[in-house]
Amino acid sequence: MSAAPLVGYSSSGSEDESEDGMRPRPGDGSHRRGQSPLPRQRFPVPDSVLNMFPGTEEGPEDDSTKHGGRVRTFPHERGNWATHVYVPYEAKEEFLDLLDVLLPHAQTYVPRLVRMEAFHLSLSQSVVLRHHWILPFVQALKARMTSFQRTFIGLEVTSGHAQFLDLVSEVDRVMEEFDLTTFYQDPSFHLSLAWCVGDAHLQLEGQCLQELQAIVDGFEDAEVLLRVHTEQVRCKSGNKFFSMPLK
């Protein structure tokens, strides 16, 4: 069996935003019978007050200079948390050695490519959660993940694909419970190795990918080092991380 196939693709995050989900409470804005309700104006909370409560639902500020020029696919709003479900991949030295050969070759075609700082396989699109939804969302995910066994996967996933589809199905059910965007139809699962700002998939297609594939196929024990024992599913919501162990 050959080593896992390499692919080049452009990424497009979900731009859907969740609704506020807040409903007026009975009696809110009440007024005496026979009188017209007074117009209400909501004044902004001063920064000096907001800074007194660092653990509130305010999400992290967006600063593209801190992550290579990448820009949010949906605007940051107070109380909205970008959320993503994935399987982590703990890169070993041999894997990084392979990447040290692949990346310089790919950069001859797209010089602005940058190596990923961490590696994972996505089980969901990026969606927006309100702060008060995070814990119920994670609890629902944990309930869905408890029945899954661990498995071995490759890059691009050529073994374990059916198990990943089962995982996505359960994640999609949770997304539907919270009226969020589900994963792609007929997905293929990839471990991203590098990234760049802008769409460069045309430069990577064809000869570049063929040459990179030849490097992978000829790398010693490539088939073995591109497998990983999947022990957990993770959910990242804003700056919070949650882990769901698999059996």
Q: Helix crossing, 161-177 with 134-145: angle to 10°?
A: 140
Among the listed residues 120, 131, 161, 201, the single catalytic one is: 120
Give the type of residue at 158.
T
Angle at 105 (CA atoms; ends 118, 156), nearest 5 degrees: 50
User: How far, in Å, CA of 232 to CA of 247, rounded?
Assistant: 9
User: How far, in Å, CA of 116 to CA of 191, rounded?
Assistant: 10
Query: How far is residue 97 CA from its own chain's centroid?
Result: 25
Give the type of residue at 30.
S
Count of Cβ atoms closer than 10 Å to residue 219 Cβ: 18
Say whether 190 is catalytic. yes
Residue 115 phi/psi, 5-degree rounding, is -65, 140
Say whether 132 is catalytic. no
Among the listed residues 84, 131, 161, 190, the single catalytic one is: 190
Catalytic residue IDs: 120, 190
